[in-house]
Structure 1
Amino acid sequence: MDSIQRKKLVNELISLIEKGNAHVSFKESVTGLPSELRTIIPENLPYSIWQLVEHIRIAQKDIVDFSSSAGSESLAWPDDYWVEPTDTVTDEDWNNSLQQIEKDQQRFQALLEDEQHDLFAPLPWGTGQSLLREAMLIADHNAYHTAEIVVARRLLKSWK
């Protein structure tokens, strides 16, 4: 793959992770959410929006850490990927979580943009995973849970 094709592919992957393309972005899904609705678990749903945001943060960080280094510590599924329900989430905790999601996306973007990394080559410390696969995993996983946030917001009467 020449460098022009690589750059096009990287740009498409970054767009997919950040914007979603066919649906609202993660940022859009959480923008304007009243703080008092963060921890409410809508009827017939298993998680609050806070739990979904934290799950996205934890899982994405795990993927980025794994993609960056052989020394990343594995989390236990599912316990380490989900936070327990809570009654309150401070603005500081909420903003820290959103900032960490953005920071980890930027870290992953830097990995993708580094031409020293072959997007298709298996990561030496993995079991066949490549940066391309991990990019699609982040995009797919975040899209799935972003949709759940939108559904929760609709049930809480806090969506467009």
Structure 2
Amino acid sequence: METTALRAQIQQLLRGGNAHVPFAQAVEGFPLERVNQRPQGLPYSAWDLLEHLRIAQRDILDFMVNPHYKEPHWPQDYWPSRPGDAQTWQASVHSFEGDLERIIHLALDPQIQLDAAIPHGQGQTYLREFLLAADHNAYHIGQLVLLRRLLGAWG
């Protein structure tokens, strides 16, 4: 299971751009005055999705690297508690991108055995967490693109 090719595939999956829009493209040029707007029929805004992406990805990263990890409460700890603005939007984007790079760095680290159980987990492997991060991100990035389309702010 430990191969350079597999690690490279994990990296590509985490970065996006094959079967789904990469994160940077989904947030680039978003009209910051509309980050809190919820299109009719959607229960979330772009800010809600961005912060959820950041919080959940940080949680996955924390789980992999922190032996004193404490699981946040679902759902309240995984979604923003207040509206965002241009400054918090940019901070969240940068935080998400930084955490993504840390996860990719872990995935490419030959010292991390992909099929090894995370020592403080309950049987979860590093590979599972990398795939979980990629899957979760792709799902919500897709929602963000749809939201942008509904706001007329895509393409």
Q: What's the counterpart of residue 93 of structure 1?
A: 88
Q: What's the counterpart of residue 134 of structure 1?
A: 129
CA contact (8 A) 2:46 2:147 kept: yes
> Aligned partners of 1:132, 1:60: CA distance in 2, in Å?
15
SS for the counterpart of 2:29 is coil
Q: Which runs of 5+ in 1 are unaligned?
A: none
Q: What's the counterpart of residue 110 of structure 1?
A: 105
TM-score normalized by the length of structure 1: 0.91
CA contact (8 A) 1:20 1:139 kept: no
Identity, in percent, stands at 43
CA contact (8 A) 2:52 2:78 kept: yes
How big is the alpha-carbon RMSD for the aligned residues of Structure 1 and Structure 2?
A: 1.3
Please, which of 134, 148, 151 is the counterpart of residue 153 of structure 1?
A: 148
CA contact (8 A) 1:68 1:111 kept: no
> Aligned partners of 1:43, 1:31: CA distance in 2, in Å?
23
Moved over 2 A (4+): none
Q: What does 1:17-56 align with in structure 2 at a 5 Å threshold?
A: 17-56=14-53
Shift of 1:92: 2.2
Deviation digits for residues 53-111 of structure 1 (CA, Å, limit 9, x no counterpart)? 0000000000001011221222011110001352x51x221111011111111111221
Q: What's the counterpart of residue 124 of structure 1?
A: 119
Residues matched between the structures, number: 155
> Aligned partners of 2:103, 2:141: CA distance in 1, in Å?
19
Q: Which runs of 5+ in 2 are unaligned?
A: none
> Aligned partners of 2:36, 2:81: CA distance in 1, in Å?
10
